[in-house]
Each structure stands twice: as C-alpha cells, then as structure tokens.
Amino acid sequence: MDKLKLAVYWASSCGGCDIAIVELGEHLLELAQVADIVFWPCAMDFKYADVQALPDKYIDVTLFNGAIRTDEDAHVAHLLREKTKVLVAFGSCAMEGCIPGLGNIKGPDHALQRASLTTPTTDNPAGALPRARFAMPEGELTLPALANQVRTLEQVVPIEYSIPGCPPNHDQIWKAMTAVIENKLPEVGSLLGVDDRTVCDQCPRVREGKIRVERFLRPHEIIPDPERCLLEQGLICAGPATHAGCGALCVKAEMPCRGCYGPAAGALDQGAALLDAIVAGFEGESDADIRRVLATIVDPVGTFYRFSLGASLLHQLKMGAEASGQICASQRNGEDAS
C-alpha cells in the first residue's frame, strides 16, 4: 500500500501547534509506518521550491497551523492548497485567528510601533521600525510584509476540516490522524477529533445556574472554591460558549476557560454566545444592575474574543469595510516609517 503523504506548516503562530504534534510521542512511530512527511519546515530542512515542484494534489493531508498575517503566509496557503487533497486548519490561529487576530483591533502599524518603540523592555534610540525591503550594497534584503488584517486560513483558501485548540490536545490530534489513516473522515466542513458538547459539559464543578456577584474578578484577585462554577464566583469563564475537546483542562487546574477551542456547536459568534450565557445567569436582575456588573469586566474584547476575533461576526463586519489584504502602511513599497 502506498504511504500517505503528509505536510505540516507553521504560518503566523507561536509554534505551540508543532510542539503539540511532537507530543503525539510513540504515536509518531505508528504514523511513520503509514505516512511520509513531505514538508514540515519547522522540523526538517524543506524549501518552498521542493513543494512547488510537486504535482498538484500530491500531498494527501496538510496540517496548516498559524494565522495568515504576512504575504508569505498567504503565498504558502495558496501553494499548499494547490498541492493538497485535504487541507486542515490546525489549531486556533489557522481556524479563527487566535491571539494574532487581536491585532486587528488596532492594526499592524500600531503593532509595529508598539513592539518596536514603546514596550517597557524596548531599547531602540534610533526609533527604527522593521521594513519589508532594505537596500544593501550586496543587494536587497526582504522580510515578509504584514497585511492590514490577520485572516484565518479559510478566509484565504478553501479548506476541508479544522482542528480547534490552542494548541490542539495530542489525544484529539491522534483521533484526527486515525480518521485520516483509516479513511473515516467525516463530512467536509467538520471539526476533527472533538465532539459537539461544551467545556461546561466536561467540567466537574457544580453550577447553580445563577450569577450573584457585585463585580467580575481577575484570576489573581480570588482563590476560588474548588467545587463551584468559576463563572458563578465572578471569574469570566468561557466554558458555556466553548467547544469541548480539551477535557476542561484549565478549569480542572483552577483557571477559568479562556475559550481556545472556539465557538460551541451552533454558535455563530463565540463572544456573543458567552455574553448571552453570562446575561442569562443574571436572570431576575434589572437591566441597570446587569449593565453595572458587566461594566466591571476588564478588556471586554480581549476577554470575549481572545481566540475568535479573526473569525467573528464583529471582524467580518470590519473586513467588509476595509481592504483586508493590503500591506500595512509602514511597510508598503519598502518605505521606512522611522
């Protein structure tokens, strides 16, 4: 039997998804018996020219992690789409933008200015900013240019499946790989390796169904009761609006769910679904009281859309109003804003 051809790519992300694949441990040996890795630049020395030279649809499955933030990310997404039969958005960045997607709030010029000039640890007296092109006597140096907006993989090319998580849990990855190996993939468009419940359904904490707090708290402000629902103790927990799959990892470690497995089945917009669940917990309170307590939430966009802003309805409305693929002003045509 011919071995499967497998590719793994890392676009704009932290690298945790590649580590999650390494965490397959001994399953990697099983995988090696049935699949050849034909492209995994993070782990082995492949060149884009090697992929370019492959026949179209030569790769059976590509696990693509990372958001589309640079012109290089978009180029490789198109290239791998051309060469791959089953393209999988692997992890939260590729699926929904994740933390890089929060950069869409203020845009890439703000991110470059902030990272290069004003963080407390920055030492940059010349005020230099990264630039996409730089002329040297030896020739022109180039860097991938940032686009105006961070996009999900599916906003750039069609995909077959997604695997949620930041990063995906290794058991879930193996479930997905087993479905590939046994040729038992579900309907195109499905999530792989997860079921349709929410994190709350996997959480062992007791829920009364009622939130009775004067203000919401941040995790460092409280040592929560280990038995009771964290949301009902005043910590914003995204469990009610988040897809199951991790086994309620964070809540079992005394931390609220941040929502990294993306919107629960049937929820169009994770942030709106979470807000809805929280407001429902205040049933019986006046609108004014609910608004007063909600106003104590620190960083509402970062809290409700920490992982899903890039794929949210909020972002899509913004995308409709802006040219999302354009290169950011600071880097356009090799201009240097410094």
Residue numbers at the binding site for ligand SF4 (CB under 6 A): 199-200, 203, 205, 207, 229-231, 237, 239-240, 242, 246, 248-251, 257-261
CB of 239: closest distance to ligand SF4 in angstroms? 2
Looking at the Cβ atoms of 108 and 234, the one nearer to ligand SF4 is 234
- Tokens 């441990």 locate to 25
241 and 263 Cβ atoms separated by less than 8 Å: yes
CB of 150: closest distance to ligand SF4 in angstroms? 20
CB of 250: closest distance to ligand SF4 in angstroms? 3
CB of 277: closest distance to ligand SF4 in angstroms? 8
CB atoms within 10 A of CB 235: 21
CB of 60: closest distance to ligand SF4 in angstroms? 29
Backbone dihedral region of 257: left (phi > 0), alpha (psi from -120 to 50 degrees) or beta?
beta
Looking at the Cβ atoms of 163 and 251, the one nearer to ligand SF4 is 251
User: Residue 136 forms beta bridges with which residues?
Assistant: 139
Cβ-closest residue to ligand SF4?
239
Please list the alpha-helical segments (H only) found in the chain. Answer: 16-22, 27-34, 48-52, 71-83, 92-96, 98-101, 108-113, 170-181, 199-202, 249-252, 270-281, 287-294, 300-304, 313-321
Looking at the Cβ atoms of 283 and 336, the one nearer to ligand SF4 is 283
Looking at the Cβ atoms of 129 and 248, the one nearer to ligand SF4 is 248
* Prior bond of 100 cis (ω within 30°): no
Looking at the Cβ atoms of 169 and 331, the one nearer to ligand SF4 is 169
